[in-house]
Structures are given as structure tokens and as C-alpha cells.
Amino acid sequence: MTESRSDLAQQPHAIVERDGVRYTLLGTAHVSRASIEAVEAAIASGTYDTIAVELDNNRLRALTEPDLLNKLDLFQIIREGKTGLVAANLALAAYQRRLAEQLGVEPGAELKAAALGAKQRGLALAVIDRDVGTTLKRAWSKLGLWGRSKLMAGLAGSLFVDEKVEESEIEKLKEGDLLESSFGEFAEQTPELFEAVIAERDRYMAARLRQVGAEGQAREVLAVVGAGHLKGLETELTEGNAPPAELLAELDNLPQGSRIPWFTMIFAGSLLAAFGWGYYHGGFDLASKLVLSWSVITAIGGALGCLAAGGHPLSILGAALASPISPLIPALSSGMVSAFIEAWLRRPTYQDMLNLRDDTISLAGWWRNRFSRAFLNFVLTNLGTSIAVWVAGAAVIHKLG
């Protein structure tokens, strides 16, 4: 059911009553002062007993705890294989900071105002969005090779592009979703990405709101969400019938890859078979040339990637040594090796941690800051190795011909 309220008349909103709970969905623009004022006015009205925000716990902490980045443990991130995910989050944060500088409004400031307003007035606060890491992983699993390349390009654009954000992206933010806008037109043109980034989150947030209502304490809920989610969230909240707990578990589920790394095993088997074929037809001389060609090309690729990241000479050496073998070992990547060596030799200082948020909004800052440079080592070394693997594979095949 949709109706109007006098205190929200100038803002996009919808009101849904379900199971004895009234949900007021306030659609906001993530870069609008008017949205901040609308949120503050709604909370100040005293109408609501619960405030729900389009955030997950990690993003809430990032908005309300300015020193959160100072607590990151770089070595733990590398050991747990979360380097790429944290780098993606830093890239998205850098994009948001550029928007804040350009527009004078911090993206998500209305969500921050809602969270702080709830705390100040002693109201219940519910975070209803899905963890951004889960969203990115589910999006990644739905895309093919070309789609994944474009997704990485979108994140890289958020990370590296240092000029002003285009007006078209700003307009999209006034009507849409911050995460969607980070990928530009790719999100609109790719159904799989749209499904994970927008549609699934509509279902997720509706299920969370129903879950909050079912807990029995909430009767008047103000849900502050991006205007791009308003229509889908209203529909899901009105028509959705799946038990909230089951739906949340389904949407939080991360796709499980095969326990057996078939691709790596097939690739390694094919490469070893090529070396064996070379030995069978050309003896040790040809086999050694094939191994040497593979090793040199992949080593150069990994080393160049690490060099591009400004890696320490020993990090470059580690990348070169790891690159020929890492494509054959699922748990190892040349980027992991070079990033770990880089972080060990050039340990990030406390000042690096303090400066991380500001340094990552500029291209040069990523290389200047020791913390972010370790992430660059991971990303660019892996990229260099990946390109070199294809070149080396082609070279092996050519020599066999």
C-alpha cells in the first residue's frame, strides 16, 4: 500500500503496512543535502520507533568510525586471501571520496545522519543491506570471462581515474544506487550484474525489514534507502512470501566452486603433457627449451607487474620466481607472494594507516602509501602473470609446431 505523509511530501517515498507494522520507505539521493534534511526531519518528528538503513555492519562502521582503516591488519588480509576484496572496497571508497570533494556532500551522508539520529534519540537501529563483499562475490560468480574483465575494469576505473566524476554519473546517483554507479553503464547493460547488485539486494532488504518487524518490537519503521531501490523494495515488501530467514540464507550464500580445482589440474596436465611431448619428439633439448620459454615469459610478466606497482627489488624477484609455478598451484598466486614480501620489507607505518583514506583518492597516493602499494603489488603482479601465461602458452605451442 502506498500513501502520502505530510512530512515526506517533497521526497520520494512509499508506505507499506504488513503484519501489524507500518514501513515508511524514504527514497534518498546519496549526494543530496535535501535528502539529509529529509531524514533528520523524519526522525525528529517522533513518529518512528525503529530506523532502518541501507547499510551492512561494515559500511555502518566505516561511516561512523573514521579511524576504522587504522585497525586493518595487512598480513592477516594477505594470509586469508582477502587482498582483492579489500582493494575493491578501497577503490569504491576512493570513488566516493572524489564525489564528496566535487559535490561538497559525502556520499551516504543521509545514511550516516539516520544512524546517528537513531542513536541520539534512543531508537532501535537496523542495518538491512547485504555485505558488499557478498554482493561482489555473487556478481563475480554470475559473470563469464569477458564480464569479469569488465567488472574489474569498472573497479579499476573507480580506483585509478583521478578526474572529476561525470555529470551523467552524478545524475544516476540522484536516482539510483551508489554501488551500481561505480560500475558505470556496465551495470545497466549486464543483467547478471544488475541482478546481484540491485534486484537481489531489494529482496534482501525487504526480507530484513520483515525480520525486524517479526521480532515484535517495531511498529513504525523508517527505512532510509537509495531512491533506485524504492520501487523494487516496495514490491518485494508487499508481495514477498518466502520466510525471511530462508530468503536471507539463500541470498547470503556464496557460490561454492568445485572442491577439486579442475581447471588448474587440466591446465597443469596439459602443460606437462606439452613438455613430455616435446621430450618425446625432440629429446631433452626441445623439452628444456619449452620449460625455459615458459619460465622466462611468465617470470618477466610477473616481474613487470610488480615493477609497475613500485615493488621492492626483492618483491620483484619473488614475483618472478613465483610466476612460473603459481598458475599450477590453486592456493598460490604470484601477487600474494609479492604483496607479502612487499609488506614485510616495507612495513606500513601508523602514519600510512592514518593517511590511507586520503591517499587512495589520488593516483599517485596509491603508490606513495605503503599500505595501498602492497595491494597494488597483489593486483598488478597477478595481472602481469595472467597475461604472460597466455603469451607463454602460445610460445610453447608454437615451438611444438
pLDDT at 379 over 80: yes
Contacts of 123 (CB under 8 A, 6+ apart): 43, 48, 49, 50, 51, 117
pTM, two decimals, is 0.67
Above 50 in pLDDT, residue 348?
A: yes
The candidate with the shortest Cα–Cα distance to 41, out of 60, 19, 13, 16, is 13
Whole-number Å distance between alpha carbons of 249 and 56: 15
Taking every pair of Cα atoms in the chain, the longest distance, rounded to a whole number of angstroms, is: 86
pLDDT (tens digit, 9 = 90+) per residue, 129-182? 998 888 878 877 777 656 666 666 665 555 555 555 555 555 555 555 555 555
Find where cell 543530496 sits: 32
DSSP states of 313-333: HHHHHHHHHHTTTGGG-TT--
Q: For residues 226 and 395, give the distance between their C-alpha atoms in angstroms, rounded to a whole number.
A: 51
Distance CA 13, CA 223 (A): 10
SS3 call for 215: coil
pLDDT over 80 (residue 199): yes
Q: How far apart are CA 187 and CA 170, in angstroms?
A: 15
Asked if pLDDT for residue 326 goes beyond 50, the answer is yes
- C-alpha span between 352 and 356 (Å, rounded): 6
pLDDT at 92 (0 to 100): 65
What percent of the chain has a predicted confidence (pLDDT) above 70?
Answer: 72
pLDDT attached to residue 144: 67
